[in-house]
Structure formats: C-alpha cells, structure tokens
Amino acid sequence: MEKHYDHSKEGEIYKKWEEGGQFAPKGNGKPFTIIMPPPNANDPLHVGHAMFIALEDIFIRFNRMKGCETLWLPGTDHAGIETQFVFEKKLAKDDKSRFDFDRETLFSLIEKYVKENSDVAVSQMKRLGASADWDRFTFTLDPKVVGFVYQTFEKLHKDSLVYREEKLVNYCTKCGTGYSELEIDHIESQSKLYYIQYGPFVLATTRPETKFADTAVCVHPSDKRYQEYIGQEIEVEGLNGKFKLKVIADEYVDPEFGTGVVKITPYHDHNDFDVWTRHKDEIPEPKQVIGLDGKLTEVAGKFTGMRVKAAREAVVNELRERGLLVKEVDHNNSVGVCYRCKTVIEPLPLPQFFVKVAPLVKNVINSLDSGETTIHGTGREKILRNWLTSLKDWNISRQIVWGIRLPVWYNVDKNPNIRVTFVDQNGNRKIGVLSNLLKEHNLNEISAGLQTLIAPKDSEFIVSADSPGDKFIQETDTFDTWFSSGQWPVVTLSIRDGDFEKFYPTSVMETGYDILPFWVMRMMLLGVYLTGKSPFKDVYLHGLVRDSQGRKMSKSIGNVINPVDMAEKYGADALRMALVMGSTAGQDKSVSEQTIKGMRNFSNKIWNATRFVLEFEGETTEINKDLEVELGGWIKDIEDNLEKLKPGQASEIAYQAFWHGYCDKWIEEAKKGSVGTKQMRDTLEKLLTILHPFAPFVTEACWTQLGKKTHLISTSWPKEV
C-alpha cells in the first residue's frame, strides 16, 4: 500500500462505479428520491453547486446503504435569459446582435453553443463524486419535457387559471424582456427629487421625463390644502404646449411626501397604474412615453428618440430655462434593476400571459399546515409563507428566443393589428402591422423570418401544441424559465414509464435558500396543482458559501473558490468535507482554501489508518467491549443525524470519531495490546462504511486495499454493535 493517498485516482474510482451500474435504483426497498437542482447546461460549476452535490450525495449514499431503492435524478437547465444574455455578448464580439437573425436561426445558434458546452457541468459533477443515475439525465428543453410543459399550460388554460392581459411589466430594455416581481433586484440609489410647477400646484417627482404621459394629478382625499381642486381640471404649461389634467383624490398619496401632490403616469409606474385602474371613469386612457427600446416615443415631441437618462437631463434643463423647475433636492430611493445585466427596470405596458396564483397558493399552504412538506432551515418556512400570502399573479411571458415557445396561435384574419418584426427573404428587417405587411409578403415568409410579435391586448388566441391551420401565426414569447423548472419533479418522473408511480412524491428537495421563492415555491404551486400532492416531503435549504471573512464570493473581490480546481489540488473528499462539516440548514458557511487543505489531512488520516491495520498484528483475540460500545454509539449518532437531515452534525461526529476516537485513542490502545487485529480491522471496515457518504473516494480506495471484492458504495449500512 502506497505511503500517501493519491487523490488523482479519484476519476478511476468514479469510472468503476459508473461502469458497474452502481448509481441506478436497486432492490425493492422503500423508495428514496432526490431530483437534482439543474445547473446551467453550459456553465462551469461554482462553489454553491459543489455544496448541493456534496449534501445530496451524502443523503443518496446513506439511503442506498440503508437498503432504500434510491434515485438521484440529474439534469441541466437551459437557463433562458441568462444563456441568451451570455450568447448575445458573444455575438457582440463579432459585431453582431440578436436583431440580425430570425428567431429560429437565433435559437439554433444558441442551441449549438449550449451543446458544445453542455458536458461541462456534467463532467464536473462527476468529478465531485455525484452518484446520480446518469441514464435518467434530463435537459429542460428535451422534446418530452417541452411536450409536458405544453400540456400543463393547456390544463391551466382549460381550468381558467391562465389569462392574457395588458399590464405593467418589469421590463429590461437591454435584455429585451419582462420579468416577474421575484426577478428584480432592488438597490439604493441617490437621485434627485424635482419640484415642478403644475398649474396652481408644485409637485415633486423623480421622473420628469415621463410628464408627457401624465393623465392626472392626485392628492389625498383628506388633505385640507387641496379640497377645492378635487374633481376640477387644471391647466399645465408643458414643454410641448399647454394641456389640462384632472385633479383626483386617492389614499395612495402620502401627504407628507413632497408637497402632497403627485402626477399620475399609469404606463410608467406600478402605483400610478393601480390608481388609474381605480379611477378609469375620471381620467383618460394612459399614454406611453418610453418604448421597449428604452427611448422616448413620439408622445415626447422634440425629445422623441432620446434615451431615458439623456431625456431626463434635457427635460430638467428646459424646465429650468422656462422657470418651471422650482427646486431640486438630493433623494435616496430604491431602484429596481435587472438581476442579470443591472439595467434599470422600466415599468412598461405589455400584453402578457399570467397564471392566477390564489387557487394554487391555498393548496400549498395546506401542504405546509398538514406537515406534508417540512422546511428545514430556521425561519425559512415563515419566509415561504410570507411570499405565498403576498404573491401576485405570475407573469410567465418572456420576450426572448432561448426557451420553450408559448403554444399560442393567432388567426391573422381575426387579428389584423398584430405588430410584427421579421427578416424577409432578402435579409432585410421589416417592422409593421401584419395586415399591411401581408400586402407585400406572404404569411409563410413572415413566419419563417419572424423575430417578435406583439398582439393587441384584446386579440383572440388558441392554445395548441401544433398549428391550428394555414391562417395562424405563433406567439414569439417563451415561457419564464421558472415555469418549466417549476414542474421539474413531476416532469422528470412522468416522462419515463413507472418512475412517477414509484418515486413521486420525492423524498428531499435540497437547494440553496436564495431560490426558495423562485424555484421551491413554484415547484410546490405547480406540483400540487398537477398531482394533488406536494412534490417533496422535506426541503433542505443550504446557505451561501462565503469566504473566511464571511464575505460573499465575488470575482471583483478575488475570493472565488473554483470547486474543480480545489478537487484537483486536494481531492474531492477534502472539498466535500470542508463544505459540509459543521454546516446547518438555512445558515451560511465560511470556507477557504486553507479549510479544504486541512480536510486533505483527514483523507490522509483515513489512508494511514488503513495502512496501520494492514500491517498490525495484535497479540490478543479478545473483544474489547469499550471499543464495541463506542463504535455502536458512533454508528447510531451518525445515522440519527442523517435520518433527521443534519449532515453537518453527522459529518462532525464522523470526523471526531475517526480522528480522535479510532486513531488517537484506539490505535494507541492496539499498540499497547488491548485490542486485537480482527477487532481493529472489523472496526475500520464499519468506520469506512459510515464515512463513505462524506468521503466516498478515499473510503472506497481503502476498502479495495483491504481486499474487498465488492464496492463499498453498494455495501449495507452497519447495524449498531
């Protein structure tokens, strides 16, 4: 036996497991199932991925040893906007953009790019020891998955839980898509609060550039300063001439903010939109002054075509010149930005498809109340309940190409006012209303070169996986990525014969607490809706992996740990132990390279203890009862903690038991003659078995050194002594 453990051979060990079919469910024991959170197909793993792999692999290996019919089903995610965003940056380097291609061509280009890189995540998961059933690997854009997602959408539509409506959406003008409330980051921003003369009033606003789309001014109904104006029209001097606005009263207005008078711009502020919906009979239809391209529309007159920031400066300068700017003061406020590119989000009107969440939420809360699903992580269930009770209808439309296209069709004869952008057969980009475009181009050409389509809010549509006929054109929006991944436990088990009946509901959903509202909540919403049962019995939420100073890992700080590099340098077992040991559900964990390096010593300790046992020849053959009792306690404590989903505590016990118990104490006792060769070997074998879920490679290597013909991975969990 070599003097030192060689972790460079971990790949050979993994290959033997995989080729030996060790990862597939076996036997007729109680099913134990984990559906893997799918990482992005074309992205390398980060340390957060390594954490979920380590934790889930512990649960899987332990339950496999306990005799369960164990399934860990892996997959990767197409990652909608994130993948398209990265690909567009790649296009930009070649001096191209998404606007140079029709949507089908762009989809194919992204698909090729993803396929070229799709083995990155999978190969790295294997390098870290993930004993998943790769024969059941699923990609979120697999045809069977797409078909299942279509069926779900059709069911929601038939159940009147899907509707199409023009609402204000959180729109990123750079990424070119709307987002749900959950996908918006909020940052504190220092801006200006502008006090502007509006007829007899002075009002305060942070957005003077939207004044061209004002439909009213509003005061609080009990504000005594403005009682005489409520219900009256005022004349306002604008930058494109004078105009009239009605004064309305609504309790939304804070009398203490600014002057207690606010302008109402429904198409560019969510609160203003709500005010407009309550006062539709009093004020005119909204106007849109900012377009989907982030530029001011023709409503802005001479400011048309300017981007928002430049337009704000220009408008403020002219207000100042005309004496309409009373004052400006520094103002701190929260600004919504795109979670991906950090562009300021514009609330913009757009017809979108929404899912009614209220009926779905009720059933999920019942699952929590009944204990059907348990959330592990202090305070996380309360957070989930808060999200559920405040959840708005879910906008599932995304204006991107890379994703599952909505199975929605419009009859071109019944919907002549659809606005279309397409690339004609000569490669020219055309924009216009469909009825006009059809005078020069046929529908096949338009459909083949289609980039985007915006149907008016009252358009008739048909939900169908296939085209209903020759006169139909398909919606260009794709589903929100979370809509398809929200069906993940159901769809991955439903697309294979027998899996759903055997493995659903799944046993554990293990993932980071940061995607509790994004993913876990939506899996529960759709899982209960589709099956009548919550998709998992337990939800284990791990925390963020931080550096030794407790800081979030960031490239700009330079404290990022590459998990594969660490596995190559110190061994996958060392990385896994460093991540898991002492971790607690719902709590962040600090890890550094030094921590990982320290855990390499543990791998060497296991190896060296095995060398000692192979060379040891004890004089006594009597059983040392104290060692027997202590071993039984270790087995029980580790087993109890893993059964209770406490891998951090279990790994701590395993570490202390082996290093300080077996090595520091009992090896020394053996040298003194109080423990015999057979008992030391039998104890080591049991210890290797209970250590295996935490450090699978070194324990398997030592098992082989002991002359075992079977794989340790397939060995049964030891019974208490």
The string of pLDDT tens digits covering residues 563-582 is: 999 999 999 999 999 999 99
What is the DSSP track for 52-94? HHHHHHHHHHHHHHTT-EEEEE-EEB--HHHHHHHHHHHHHHT
Task: Mention every residue, 6+ apart, whose C-beta is less than 8 A from residue 521.
Answer: 364, 384, 387, 388, 391
d(CA 511, CA 422): 41
Instruction: Kindly indicate whether the domain formed by 181-341 is annotated with CATH number 3.30.360.10.
Output: no
CA within 13 Å, CB half, 551? 11
Mutual orientation of helices 593-615 and 677-691 as an angle, nearest 10°?
150
Inter-residue contact 232 to 244 (CB < 8 Å): no
Q: Measure Cα distances from 557 to 543, 553, 566 in Å.
A: 20, 7, 19
- What's the CATH number of domain 23-151+482-546, 3.40.50.1370, 3.30.420.40, 3.40.50.300, 3.40.50.620? 3.40.50.620
Identify the burial level of 460 via C-beta atoms within 10 angstroms of its C-beta, where 0-12 means exposed, 13-18 middle and 19 or more buried. exposed
**3-state class (DSSP) for residue 288:** coil
Q: Measure Cα distances from 2 to 6, 692, 701 in Å.
A: 9, 20, 11
Phi, psi of 185, rounded to the nearest 5 degrees: -90, 145
**3-state class (DSSP) for residue 719:** coil
**3-state class (DSSP) for residue 419:** strand
Identify the burial level of 184 via C-beta atoms within 10 angstroms of its C-beta, where 0-12 means exposed, 13-18 middle and 19 or more buried. middle
Structure-token match 């839980």, residue found: 161
Identify the burial level of 280 via C-beta atoms within 10 angstroms of its C-beta, where 0-12 means exposed, 13-18 middle and 19 or more buried. exposed
Identify the burial level of 15 via C-beta atoms within 10 angstroms of its C-beta, where 0-12 means exposed, 13-18 middle and 19 or more buried. exposed
d(CA 610, CA 215): 80
Inter-residue contact 164 to 347 (CB < 8 Å): no
Q: What angle do CA 34, 39, 42 make, to 5 degrees?
A: 145
d(CA 247, CA 224): 14
What is the DSSP track for 456-493? -TT---EE-SS---TTEEE---EE-HHHHHTTHHHHHH
* End-to-end Cα separation, the chain, in angstroms: 29
**Beta strands 69-73 and 31-35, pairing class:** parallel
Q: Where along the chain do its domains lie?
A: 23-151+482-546, 162-177+349-368+386-479, 181-341, 563-714
Number of H helices and number of E strands within the chain? 24, 28
Closest CA to 418 of 399, 400, 437, 402: 437
Predicted pLDDT of residue 42: 80
- In which residue ranges of the chain is pLDDT below 70? 721
**3-state class (DSSP) for residue 105:** helix
Predicted pLDDT of residue 506: 98
What CATH topology corresponds to 563-714? Isoleucyl-tRNA Synthetase; Domain 1 (1.10.730)
Task: Mention every residue, 6+ apart, whose C-beta is less than 8 A from residue 590.
Answer: 545, 546, 547, 548, 549, 550
Own/partner pairs for 98-107, CB < 8 Å, 24+ apart?
98/176, 98/401, 99/429, 99/451, 101/423, 101/451, 102/422, 102/423, 102/448, 102/449, 102/450, 102/451, 103/401, 103/450, 103/451, 103/452, 103/476, 104/448, 104/450, 106/401, 106/402, 107/401, 107/402
d(CA 689, CA 686): 5
Side chain identity at 384, as an amino acid letter?
L
pTM for the full model?
0.89
Inter-residue contact 468 to 410 (CB < 8 Å): no
Predicted pLDDT of residue 721: 60
Rounded (to 5) percent helix, strand, coil in the chain: 45, 20, 35
CA within 13 Å, CB half, 677? 7
Closest CA to 327 of 189, 208, 199: 208
- The 10 Å Cβ neighbour count of residue 553 is 17
Structure-token match 């509707």, residue found: 163
The string of pLDDT tens digits covering residues 680-721 is: 999 999 999 999 999 999 999 999 999 999 999 999 999 876
